[in-house]
Amino acid sequence: NRTNERFPMFRKFILASVLSLATFTAAHAGQQYVDETGFAVSGYDPVAFFELQQSPVGQRQPHAVPARADVTAEYNGAKWAFASEANRAKFVADPAKYAPAYDGHCAYGVAQGGKVPGNPNLWRIVGGKLYLNITPTIVGFWESDISGNLDKSKANWGKLESTDASTKSWKAIDDNKGTYSGSAPVGN
C-alpha cells in the first residue's frame, strides 16, 4: 500500500523539522549585540522593520526607524527601544518574532564563522525573520546566495554564541558612511 510507504518518510520529515526548529530556538540565546548607544539594534525599533516595504534583492532597503529612548523593554539581557507604545506592546507579546536573528550580529559574518555587529540599515526579512548585515559590500555577498548563507549561518551559530562583538561599532566602518543619518534612539 503506497500510503504506508509514504508515512515513514512523512514522519522523518516532521521529526527533522521539529529538531531543526528546536536547534534554532535553543541557539537563539547568545549575548545580544549592543553598541555604544546602550540599546539592542543600535536604538532602532525592531518591530518597525516588519512595517516597512522591503526592497527587492540587490536594492538598498529603507532606513530603519529610530526609536524613542523613553519607550523601552528588556529582552535577552538587553534594553530595546521603540518608536511607539504600540510597537513596544507587539514586541513584549512576542519578542522572538521581532528580535533580529543571531542576536543582532551580521548574518553573513555568522555564515563565514565570525561574529561581527549588524548594521540596522542593512536588513532583510526572510521567512518572517529579520537578518542584519554589517556593510553594503557584505550585503552583496550575502544576497548572492541568501539560502546557502542561511544554511551556513545556522550551522555556525551554536559555535559562536559565547563570543561577543559589543565592543565593535558598525558606524566606525568607512563602508557604512551614508547608510545612516542621525542617531538612534531619539530623545537620548
| Per-residue pLDDT reduced to its tens digit, 109-124 | 999 999 999 999 999 9
Q: What is the pLDDT of residue 188?
A: 62
Share of the chain above pLDDT 90, in %: 70
CA distance 47 to 30: 20
Classified as helix, coil or strand, 79 is: strand
What are φ and ψ of residue 135, in 5° steps?
A: -140, 160
CA distance 123 to 32: 17
* Whether the predicted pLDDT of 165 surpasses 80: no
Q: What is the pLDDT of residue 7?
A: 40
- Give me the mean pLDDT over the 164-175 stretch: 82
Regarding predicted confidence, which is higher, 19 or 108? 108
Instruction: Give the CA-trace dihedral at 38, 41, 46, 50, to 10 degrees.
Output: 170
- Give me the mean pLDDT over the 20-40 stretch: 65
* Whether the predicted pLDDT of 27 surpasses 50: no
pLDDT tens column, 124-153: 999 999 999 999 999 999 999 999 999 999
* Whether the predicted pLDDT of 92 surpasses 80: yes
Q: What is the pLDDT of residue 110?
A: 96
- Give me the mean pLDDT over the 4-15 stretch: 38
Strands annotated E in 44-171: 68-75, 78-82, 119-126, 129-133
Q: What is the pLDDT of residue 5?
A: 46
* Whether the predicted pLDDT of 2 surpasses 70: no
Q: What is the pLDDT of residue 48?
A: 98
> From the DSSP assignment, how many helices (H) and strands (E) are in the chain?
6, 4
